Amino acid sequence: MCLLFFTLFTEEMYTSLSRKIQRAYIIWRGAGMSIQGVRTCGDYMFSGHTVALTMLNFFITEYTPRHMYFVHTFTWMLNMFGIFFILAAHEHYSIDVFIAFYITSRLFLYYHTLANNRSLMMRDSNRTRIWFPLFSFFESSVDGIVPNEYESPMVPLGKLFSIVYQRIFHFVRDTHVQLLGKRIKNPDTKSD
């Protein structure tokens, strides 16, 4: 028997294979969320919610300019509050959240350490190929650190707006000139 804050589960309910498959389908269909009516023990030993929050936090911290420390601090605070609320909602046990945070942060940091340090990859290339086959496949043709260039999305949007504005302005001006030209050529026509 498993008791969590709002769930109750007994193993006797799912003894046959068909009942287990039916239960697995219900959990899959509801995406494992209690709001969808899914009732489980909650002991997953891994929290996908924590993985998503932590990965987003690390990506923002890694790929935004260093001088945006306010954004970095804000995302870390949001990550910690998110983890707290996952625990407060009793969606996962503490160990689920801790393991998810630990594994996600280690994988992110290990990957970026290997990707940003070519000597680590070249020195033990066979070992790297064995332990990190996807890393070796995806990063084999990269010569070094990819520059961290950041451009605000407002710059391209501003250029696009400027181009659209100029085209509309020229279209209206040319149309107006053409209409005036027709009126000058035919002064007998009445205008409204």
Per annotation, catalytic residue among 43, 90, 96, 112: 96
Q: Give buried/exposed letters for 23-61 (b at 16+ CB in 10 A, else e).
A: beeeeeeeebebeeebebebebeebebbbebbbebbebb
96 has catalytic annotation: yes
Q: Name the residue among 95, 91, 137 with its Cα closest to residue 114.
A: 137
67 has catalytic annotation: no
192 has catalytic annotation: no
Q: Name the residue among 126, 128, 101, 100 with its Cα closest to residue 114.
A: 128
Per annotation, catalytic residue among 92, 112, 188, 192: 92
Positions annotated as catalytic residues are 49, 92, 96
